[in-house]
Structure 1
Amino acid sequence: MTVLGAVFRPQNPPERLRAVARVAEEAGLEQLWLWEDCFLESGIASAAAALAWTERLSVGIGLLPVPLRNVALTAMEAATLDRLFPDRLVLGVGHGVQDWMGQVGARVESPVTLLSEYLDALRALLAGERVTAAGRYVRLAEVALDWPPLAPPRVYAGARGPRSIRVCGAHADGTLLDSITDADGVRAARKLIDEGRATAGRTDRHVVVANLLAVTGPDAEARLAAERTPQHAPGAGVAGDANAVADAVIRLAEAGADTVVVQPTSDEPDPEGFVRFIAEEVRPLV
């Protein structure tokens, strides 16, 4: 069965998150996803609050930009959240937007190399290992968490380009595909992920998370058109009622997405209503 989630976009003020998280919990939504976009809201701080305000809801961070965060710090924060709220945090990391990384002096020459090194170190730390690394970017000397998770959580990675998607297959436990991707893009990503997994000799389960830009209401078509960019694939995004959104979710799932996360437009006036719409009207149709 496809896991269904929705996004609380950081274009909303942080104080709005509590109401959205509670609606997601009450409506039975499986996952609420947060973004750490520069320079809007912290993914870790927002996730901690959403987890504390709810009892059942899984909270995903899609994603933490690795050039901005030392891997030991990310491991410490993720381990703390996992122990406080077992099996409810879905952790995603990725390159980050390169222009933003440049603004803060964190841009690196080889984002793919950094992501590979970072994923290996992060997964090892969260597995309770003592890690020494002397990579191009990730350097650790006998680092181990005093309070590792009781069971290693999955670490997901976000990617767009073929090299990065192969890295996800080789080094991550799941891949985050953003909303520019349509069903054909999910199929292509699955092949690249499998190539990366084969190279690394991995046979464990790999979860693919696809994001879907969705708009409903009388002006849905116009709002979707305003949100789309030249980077969006021809079949990416959907405008319409619950049936139209559910059909788009099903297409992504049939293409290979294990989880579909539905995101509103940045100008969505009613984020609570959007989450309720996904949970109560779209979920029964998927």
Structure 2
Amino acid sequence: MTALGVVFRPQLPPERLREMALAADRAGLDELWLWEDCFLESGIATASAALAWTERLRVGVGLLPAPLRNVALTSMEAATLHRLFPGRVLLGVGHGVQDWMAQVGARVDSPVTLLREYLEAMRALLAGERVTSRGRYVELDQVALDWPPLTPPPVLAGAIGPRSLRLTGESADGTVVDARVAPEGLRKACALVEEGRRTAGRTAAPHPVTVYVHAATGPGAAARVAAEIRREGHDPSAGLGAVGSAAEIAEAVLALADAGADTVVLQPTADEPDPEGFVRFAGEQVRPLVSG
């Protein structure tokens, strides 16, 4: 069954998160996703709050920028969340937006190399291993977590380019794809992930794919989504959005599921006039059509 989520966009102030999370939990939504975009809001702090406020909702962070975060710190935070809220945490790491990484002096020459080293170290630490690494970017000397998760959790990774998509198949436990892909683009992305899995001999284990999609309902929905897609430098006519009634949005979600998505995350526009209402709409009206 395809899981359905909604993004709490960090363009909203942090104090709006509680009502959004409670609305998602009460409406029966499967997942609430958060972003750690510079220089808006912390992914880990918001995730811990959303998890504490809710009872059944899974909370994802997509993505934590690897260049900005030491892998030992990220693994400590991830382990703590998984111990506190077992089965409800989904964390993904990625390259980070390169301009932002340059702003804080964290940009690296080879983001793919960093992400590969990061994923290998983080997965090992969360599995309870003692890790020594002498990589190009990741250096650890006999590091082990005192309180690793009771069961090794999945570590997700974000990707859009071919090399990075193959890397997620090789070194991550799941892939997060942003909203710039239509169903056919997602199908191609999933094929690249599978190439990486075959290369690494990891095809026996599950590898869930999460994809974002621009979404809006109500008056002016199509215009708002089209404007957002243009702002991101993409063509609004390329089939990137999910717009309209619950049935129309569910149809777009199912098209992405057919292309390989295990989870589809509705990404409201930055100017969504009623974020809490959109969450309720997604959980109460769209989700039954997707799961049914």
- Taking structure 1 as the reference length, the TM-score comes to 0.98
Aligned with 1:241 (options 236, 242, 245): 245
Answer whether contact 2:8 2:20 (CA < 8 A) is retained: yes
Cα displacement (A) at 1:283: 0.7
- Taking structure 2 as the reference length, the TM-score comes to 0.96
Answer whether contact 2:79 2:126 (CA < 8 A) is retained: yes
List aligned pairs for 1:207-246, cutoff 5 A.
207-229=208-230, 230-231=233-234, 234-246=238-250
Cα displacement (A) at 1:231: 3.4
- Separation of aligned partners in 2, 1:10 and 1:109: 28
Q: Which amino acid aligns with 2:256?
A: L
Answer whether contact 1:180 1:232 (CA < 8 A) is retained: no
Q: In the alignment, what sits opposite 1:86?
A: 86
Which of 123-132 and 217-226 deviates more? 217-226
- Separation of aligned partners in 2, 1:224 and 1:63: 22
Answer whether contact 2:242 2:253 (CA < 8 A) is retained: no
Cα displacement (A) at 1:232: 5.4
Q: Which amino acid aligns with 1:174?
A: G
**Amino-acid identity (%):** 69
Cα displacement (A) at 1:269: 1.7
- Separation of aligned partners in 1, 2:287 and 2:97: 31
Q: Which amino acid aligns with 1:242?
A: A
List aligned pairs for 1:122-271, cutoff 5 A.
122-203=122-203, 204-229=205-230, 230-231=233-234, 234-271=238-275
Cα displacement (A) at 1:150: 0.2
Q: In the alignment, what sits opposite 1:118?
A: 118
Gaps of 5+ in 1: none
Cα displacement (A) at 1:238: 2.1
Which of 254-263 and 233-242 deviates more? 233-242
SS in 2 for 1:212: strand
The count of aligned residue pairs is 286
Which of 124-133 and 197-206 deviates more? 197-206
- Separation of aligned partners in 2, 1:267 and 1:102: 28
Q: In the alignment, what sits opposite 2:39?
A: 39
Q: In the alignment, what sits opposite 1:65?
A: 65
Gaps of 5+ in 2: none
